[in-house]
Amino acid sequence: MALPLPKDLPDAVAQALRVCPVFDGHNDLAAALRARAGYSVAGLDRLRPEFQTDLVRLREGGVGAQFWSAWVPTSLGPAEAVAATLEQIDAIERLVAAYPDWLARANTAAEVRAAWAGGRIASLIGIEGGHSIARSLGVLRSFARLGVRYLTLTHLTNTEWADSGTDQPVHGGLTDEGRAVVGELGRIGMLVDLSHTSPDTQRDALAAARAPVIFSHSSAYAVAPHPRNVPDDVLELLRRNGGLVQATFVPGYISPAVAEWEAEAAAALTSGPLDFDALWGPAPLPGQSLAPSPAPAWGELQRQLVEWEAAHPRPPVGIPDVVAHLEHLRQVADVDHIGLGGDYDGVLYQPAGMEDVSGYPRLLAALAERGWSPQDLAKLAGGNLLRVLEEAEQAASDPLWP
């Protein structure tokens, strides 16, 4: 039984997805479930419009493998961050266990292929932020033994050992401690993820890496000069490293006009549109089916944003904006070093035509119209990430994933 293809695909897209389904690098459903469902994984086998992700739309989007993100706020203390990251991992594991006909846990490239052969979506885990390991290689190795396959070195703020792209630099990149973390990731077979990091951190990590690295959800700085995007000189280093940049669709990252609009909204609203740390609430305690939820804060944020947008229309952003980034990434990094990292359920809205995880075929069709071959589309969709995952496994001297 093979993974079913979405219906009514253009020939080039169908050919590509037969070779390799979409293997997306970053999805924040676990955090969204905490914020809005008390970590309940029930009902995700039907359309859930309050989320950007459900199993029905993953199938419609041709998604065959997903890196689920385990994200916790950088404002948490070390012990809290480790505990909350474990809760995120638990939510992902419960999600997979609840839908065995749809999902299969995978840690290796071979297990991803086996999931496809069984008609299921391979589910992998990445931790979004080096603060989650609490400056402990023992914690890092413990996460690896739980099947975590990448670590994003920073999130919105610096760690004690690496500079973030959205904080004031204090280290000038990686410290010696940070280089040791990168070395240990390579030794145990976990991918180094450079999304959210500063360009200096990226350059230092690429110099220290013993295996291909990834950007799980970042786009091209030359197209949109946002600190979450990757400059051209780093893209060239990435190509030499054999790694991968997975283009993200986040409107403020891919459109300078939307980034300016969001900055104005953030200054005007009580809670800025990207202030997700404020929406982090308590997880269910033993004996509780649902935790006291931050849903009212989420709803208030959305209400304020709707009111703001009514008076200040959001600039249009759509598939052509994503295509512009992919064309540039292909030109600089080469087609063998690009992929997709949508960041679904990590942002309030996505580009027109890609509002949820069913939109990948529309993006691939737009690229096919611009002359991308089925072979190139297959590499972009997931073939390149599968290769990088396999090469990290081969480079590990002491792999700790099951």
Catalytic choice (28, 193, 204, 345)? 28
Is there a catalytic annotation at residue 176? no
Catalytic choice (343, 345, 376, 393)? 343
d(CA 2, CA 374): 19
Catalytic choice (217, 226, 328, 337)? 217
CATH number of the domain located at residue range(s) 11-253+318-395 in this protein: 3.20.20.140
Helix (H) or strand (E) holding 63: strand 63-71
Please, what sign has the CA dihedral across residues 247, 248, 253, 257?
positive
Catalytic choice (155, 171, 328, 337)? 155
Is there a catalytic annotation at residue 232? no
Catalytic choice (24, 26, 111, 393)? 26
d(CA 374, CA 368): 8
Is there a catalytic annotation at residue 275? no
Is there a catalytic annotation at residue 312? no
**Residue 276: C-alpha distances to residues 304, 317, 392 (Å):** 14, 22, 32
Q: Indicate the DSSP class of residue 382.
A: I
Domain segments of the chain as ranges: 11-253+318-395
pLDDT of residue 298: 65
List the chain pLDDT tens, one digit each, 402 residues. 688 999 999 999 999 999 999 999 999 999 999 988 889 999 999 999 999 999 999 999 999 999 999 999 999 999 999 999 999 999 999 999 999 999 999 999 999 999 999 999 999 999 999 999 999 999 999 999 999 999 999 999 999 999 999 999 999 999 999 999 999 999 999 999 999 999 999 999 999 999 999 999 999 999 999 999 999 999 999 999 999 999 999 999 999 999 999 989 888 876 554 456 667 877 888 888 765 555 556 667 777 888 889 999 999 999 999 999 999 999 999 999 999 999 999 998 999 999 999 999 999 999 999 999 999 999 999 999 999 999 999 999 988 766
Please, what sign has the CA dihedral across residues 360, 26, 257, 327?
negative
Is there a catalytic annotation at residue 398? no
Catalytic choice (24, 128, 193, 393)? 128
**Contact criterion met (CB below 8 Å) for 271 and 302:** no
Is there a catalytic annotation at residue 226? no
Within 10 Å of residue 19's Cβ, how many Cβ atoms? 14
**Contact criterion met (CB below 8 Å) for 98 and 37:** no
pLDDT of residue 282: 78
Is there a catalytic annotation at residue 28? yes
Within 10 Å of residue 278's Cβ, how many Cβ atoms? 15
Q: Which two structure tokens, joined as six digits, stand for 348?
A: 């309030």
Cβ contacts of residue 19 below 8 Å, gap of 6+? 374, 375, 378, 383
